[in-house]
Amino acid sequence: MIEIYKELKNCKKCPLYKTRTKFVIGAGNVDADIVFIGEAPGKNEDLQGLPFVGRAGNLLSSYLNGIGLNRKDVFITNIVKCRPPGNRDPIEEEINACFPYLKEQIEIIEPKIIVTLGRYSLKTLLGREVRIMQERGNIIDFNGVMLLPMLHPAAVLRNGNLDEKMRNDFKLLKEVIER
What CATH code is carried by the domain that includes residue 75? Answer: 3.40.470.10
Give the structural domain span for 171: 2-178
Any residues with CB less than 8 A from the CB of 79 and at least 6 apart, and which? 37, 38, 39, 40, 90, 95, 98, 99, 102, 120, 121, 124
Cα–Cα distance for residue pair 5/13, rounded to 1 Å: 14
Cα–Cα distance measured from residue 42 to residue 144, given in angstroms and rounded to the nearest whole number: 31
The string over 81-106, giving b where at least 16 C-beta atoms fall within 10 Å of a residue's C-beta and e elsewhere, is bbbbeeeeebeeebbebbeebbeebb
Specify which residues 114 forms β-bridges with.
35, 147
- Count of domains for the chain: 1
DSSP, res 171: H
Positions in the chain whose pLDDT score sits under 50:
none
| Strand intervals (E) in the chain | 27-28, 34-38, 75-78, 113-117, 140-142, 145-150
pTM of the entire structure? 0.96
Question: What pLDDT is stored for residue 179 in this prediction?
Answer: 86
What letter represents residue 100's amino acid? Answer: P
